[in-house]
């Protein structure tokens, strides 16, 4: 056995090191958990709606008791639309067009019928929809219609239906599994179309079809009816512009602000995770002190041995190395065990998250690995310096 | 390293003393490789202090200690490590052995730095000094005289240009001091090294070329 180690391990206090080990383990684990959890959960709130351009607002008129009784309309007429388009903060504005005819549809997955209903479609001008043109394309008379479904449908299906009927859960990548049959009748025509679901939108609570299909079908199945839009879609340059709020308040409009909700939730998530991480960091720092104190104590108790080693020709580096190695080993084992425990914890909570939000990406442990490694490096480097410094104090006989 | 030179070296504690009558302190002294020196002193005159200046353990003096032409005040840590490792061997008055280790381990821990001597050579020295049966005994259980012999062996298991023996035989009988002197001189001559022995009275019976009074 290494004689230097045999000498220097004298007075090592096992309880102290066990104390450090667990304190550091918990601290490290809490920090890594906080960071990893934040990264895993954040996409749930910030997932961009890949089908809609980012900075747009959906504006509708307030529906209150008074307007219901007075029969005041909640649709926008052309002058109102022009007025809105004329505002400085508006980059472009478009209106929602609804179907004027009756639609029956059924939705199935893997041949099992999930939903049968009479419903309606809406459309917005194509330049508000951010999908490759070849997917979002309709030519008059075609029997296949591209569709974007509200995400709530799929959530409902995944939770309410799929589980009880042992059907597969559907995520964004598996939209092709949905069969969507559309039956339209009006103006003496009756036809069957196939809906091709190209994705889900969490920001539009409506079934969206291409404007081209809407225009054509309204004309074909209900040539004589025409109604004003009750919702407008507006792209704005700067969503934080206060003129927007002023204008909307003045006109008595409403903005669907699900985006704001997500931001609030993200904010609280950030705050909670930061608090958790701070607690973890404090524990880590305290454990670092425990380690430094026990090493200092150890060096102090062994100072005459260390001095003798230096005097018979050992270099300070060689004498410091056993203690440095000790801290490196301790820190590495703490890091690895923290990673392993985190792996299992993450496996558990990701299972829950994936059931709740099947569309969420799997992610990876890279954030925890990186943060853990950085923490390990910082702590270890500081340990090395502190030990080296302590040994040099013995060399210069300062203690 | 060929010479150790003391150029008006004076420990700071002696700075105020006017009655100093020393052949070392505040003098120009040169120790040369290959020669044998004795430094005699009453206790309290700074024998161990003298040794600690030469191996860089203490630096509280005025004047210069130079090795060849290098002033040791400019030495870095690694220069001192090199000096202690392969140029100057020191047999400490207080021995500085490790009580947790056995006699042999105490020698081996030093021998390991340079791998200078074989186990056979070390065991032979143990036998010559009459402690061959104590190889595996813990130092803490040995008498001071026995420990002194182990410390001497430890001082010899390294390459050196000078060996500083600080009161090497204070607790030894004449026979053992005789043997110890022979072993030390044989090794020093083999290496062509200079030998500096200090003593407060009882000293090894060797043919000293020069004697200084501290």
Q: What is the pTM of this model?
A: 0.71
Q: List per-residue pLDDT tens for chain A, 399 residues long.
A: 588 999 998 888 899 889 889 999 999 999 999 999 888 887 776 665 556 655 677 888 877 666 556 656 778 888 888 888 888 888 888 888 888 888 888 888 877 787 788 888 888 888 887 777 777 888 888 888 988 888 778 777 877 777 787 777 777 667 777 888 899 888 888 888 988 888 877 777 788 899 888 888 888 888 887 778 888 888 877 766 778 878 888 888 887 765 556 667 778 888 888 899 899 889 989 988 888 888 899 899 999 999 999 999 999 999 999 999 999 999 999 999 999 999 999 999 888 888 777 667 777 889 899 999 999 999 999 999 999 999 999 999 887
| For residue B189, pLDDT beyond 90 | yes
Write phi, then psi, for B156 (nearest 5 degrees). Answer: -95, -10
Q: From the list B81, B92, B101, which residue is nearest A3 (CB)?
A: B101
d(CA A72, CA A62): 11
User: Exposed, middle or buried by CB within 10 Å (0-12, 13-18, 19+), for A102?
Assistant: middle
Q: Which of B58, B73, B77 would you mutate first to test chain A, the one with the most A CBs within 10 A?
A: B77
Interface of A with B (CB under 8 A): 3-4, 6-7, 10, 305, 308-309, 311-316, 392, 395, 397
DSSP string, B96-119: ---TTSBHHHHHHHHHHHHT-S-H
Question: Quick one: tokens of A97?
Answer: 């067009």
Residues 6 or more apart whose CB falls under 8 angstroms from that of B184 comprise B152, B156, B163, B165, B168, B195, B204
d(CA B9, CA B50): 9
* Cross-chain Cβ contact A7/B96 below 8 Å: no
Q: Beta partners for A115? A: A107
Mutant choice from B84, B92, B97, B159 vs A, greatest count of A C-beta within 10 A: B84
- Residues A314, B100: C-beta atoms closer than 8 Å: no
Q: Are A87 and A243 in contact (CB under 8 A)?
A: yes
Helix, strand, coil distribution of chain B in percent, nearest 5 = 40, 25, 40
Distance from A277 to chain B by nearest Cα, in Å?
42
Host H or E run for residue A130:
none
Nearest-by-CA chain B residue for A4: B109
Tens of pLDDT along B11-48?
A: 998 888 888 888 999 999 999 999 999 999 888 888 88
Cβ distance B101 to A311 less than 8 Å, yes or no, reads: no
Residues of A in contact with B77 (CB under 8 A): 315-316, 392, 395
Q: What is the pLDDT of residues A32-64, one digit of tens each?
A: 999 998 888 877 766 655 566 556 778 888 776
Interface contacts (A, B; CB < 8 Å): 50
Q: Which chain B residue lies closest to A9 (C-alpha atoms)?
A: B100
B98/A4 Cβ within 8 A: no
Nearest Cα of chain A lies from the Cα of B120 at a distance, in angstroms, of 19
Q: How far is B19 from chain A (nearest CA, A)?
A: 30
Kindly report the CA angle at A340 between A339 and A341, in degrees rounded to 5? 95
Strands A90-95 and A231-236: antiparallel
**CB A38 within 8 Å of CB A301:** no
Residue from the list A4, A313, A397 with its beta carbon closest to the beta carbon of B158: A313
Chain A residues touching B112 at Cβ < 8 A:
3
- Three-state DSSP state, B139: helix
CB B28 within 8 A of CB B6: yes
CB atoms within 10 A of CB B106: 27
Q: Do B81 and A305 touch (CB under 8 A)?
A: no
3-state secondary structure chain A: CCHHHHHHCCCCCHHHHHHHHHHHHHHHHHHHHHHHHHHHHHHHHHCCCCCECCCEEEEEECCCHHHHHHCCCCCCCHHHHHHHHCCCCEEEEEECEECCCEEEEEEEECCEEEEEEEECCEECCHHHECCCCCCCCCCCCCCEEEEEEEHHHHHHHHHHHHCCCCCCCCCHHHHHHEEEEEEEEECCEEEEEEEEEEEEECCCCCCECCHHHHHHHHHHHCCCCCCCCCEEEEEECCCCCHHHHHHHHHHCEEECCHHHHHHHHHHHHHHHHHHHHHHHHHHHHHHHHHHHHHHHHHHHHCHHHHHHHHHCCCCHHHHHHHHHHHHHHHHHHHHHHHHHHHHHHHHHHHHHHHHHCCCCCCCCCHHHHHHHHHHHHHHHHHHHHHHHHHHHHHHCCCC
Closest CA to B31 of B65, B77, B60: B65
| Yes or no, beta carbons of B81 and A313 under 8 Å apart | yes
Distance CA B65, CA B208 (A): 23
3-class DSSP state of B74:
helix
Cβ-defined contact of B100 to A6 (cutoff 8 Å): yes
The HSE-up count of residue A251 (CA atoms within 13 Å, CB side) is 21
Q: What is the pLDDT of residue A247?
A: 85
């Amino acid at each position: 056995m290494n004689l230097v180690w045999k000498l220097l391990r004298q007075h090592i206090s096992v309880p102290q090191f066990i104390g450090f080990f667990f304190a550091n383990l918990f601290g490290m684990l809490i920090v890594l958990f906080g960071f990893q959890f934040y990264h895993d959960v954040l996409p749930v709130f910030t997932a961009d709606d890949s089908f809609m351009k980012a900075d747009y607002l959906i504006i509708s008129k307030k529906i209150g008791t008074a307007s219901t009784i007075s029969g005041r309309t909640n649709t926008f007429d052309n002058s109102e639309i022009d007025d809105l388009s004329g505002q400085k903060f508006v980059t472009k504005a478009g209106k929602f067009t609804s179907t004027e005819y009756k639609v029956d549809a059924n939705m199935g997955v893997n041949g099992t019928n999930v939903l049968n209903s009479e419903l309606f479609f809406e459309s917005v001008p194509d330049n508000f929809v951010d999908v490759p043109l070849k997917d979002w394309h309709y030519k008059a008379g075609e029997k296949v219609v591209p569709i974007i479904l509200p995400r709530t449908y799929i959530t409902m299906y995944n939770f309410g239906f799929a589980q009880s009927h042992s059907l597969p859960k559907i995520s964004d990548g598996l939209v092709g599994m949905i069969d969507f049959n559309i039956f339209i009748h009006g103006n003496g025509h009756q036809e069957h179309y196939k809906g091709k679901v190209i994705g889900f939108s969490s920001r539009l609570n409506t079934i969206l079809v291409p404007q081209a299909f809407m225009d054509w079908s309204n004309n074909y199945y209900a040539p004589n009816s025409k109604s004003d839009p009750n919702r407008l879609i507006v792209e704005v340059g700067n969503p934080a512009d206060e003129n927007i709020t002023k204008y909307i308040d003045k006109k008595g409009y409403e903005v669907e602000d699900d985006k704001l909700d997500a931001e609030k939730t993200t904010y609280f998530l950030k705050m909670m995770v930061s608090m958790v991480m701070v607690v973890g960091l404090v524990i880590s720092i305290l454990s670092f002190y425990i380690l430094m104190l026990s090493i200092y104590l150890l060096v102090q108790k062994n100072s005459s041995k260390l001095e003798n080693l230096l005097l018979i020709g050992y270099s300070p580096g060689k004498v410091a190395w056993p203690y440095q190695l000790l801290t490196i080993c301790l820190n590495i084992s703490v890091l690895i065990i923290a990673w392993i425990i985190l792996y299992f914890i993450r496996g558990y909570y990701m299972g829950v998250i994936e059931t709740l939000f099947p569309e969420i990406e799997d992610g990876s442990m890279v954030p925890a690995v990186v943060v853990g490694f950085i923490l390990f490096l910082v702590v270890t480097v500081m340990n090395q310096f502190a030990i080296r410094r302590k040994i040099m104090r013995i060399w210069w006989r300062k203690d | 390293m060929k010479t150790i030179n003391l150029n008006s070296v004076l420990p700071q504690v002696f700075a105020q003393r006017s009655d100093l009558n020393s052949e070392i302190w505040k003098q120009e002294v040169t120790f040369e490789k290959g020669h044998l020196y004795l430094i005699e002193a009453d206790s309290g005159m700074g024998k161990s202090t003298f040794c600690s200046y030469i191996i860089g353990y203490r630096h509280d003096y005025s004047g210069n200690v130079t090795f060849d032409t290098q002033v040791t005040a400019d030495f870095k840590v690694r220069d001192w490590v090199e000096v202690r490792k392969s140029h100057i061997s020191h047999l400490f008055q207080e021995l500085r052995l490790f009580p947790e280790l056995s006699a042999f381990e105490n020698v081996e821990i030093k021998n390991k730095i340079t791998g200078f001597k074989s186990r056979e050579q070390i065991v032979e020295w143990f036998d010559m000094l009459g402690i061959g049966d104590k190889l595996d005994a813990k130092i803490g259980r040995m008498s001071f005289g026995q420990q002194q012999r182990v410390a001497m062996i430890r001082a010899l298991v390294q390459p050196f240009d000078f060996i500083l023996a600080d009161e090497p035989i204070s607790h030894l009988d004449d026979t053992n001091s005789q043997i110890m002197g022979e072993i030390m001189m044989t090794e020093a001559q083999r290496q062509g090294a200079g030998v500096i022995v200090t003593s407060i009275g009882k000293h090894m019976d060797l043919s000293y070329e020069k004697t200084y009074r501290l």
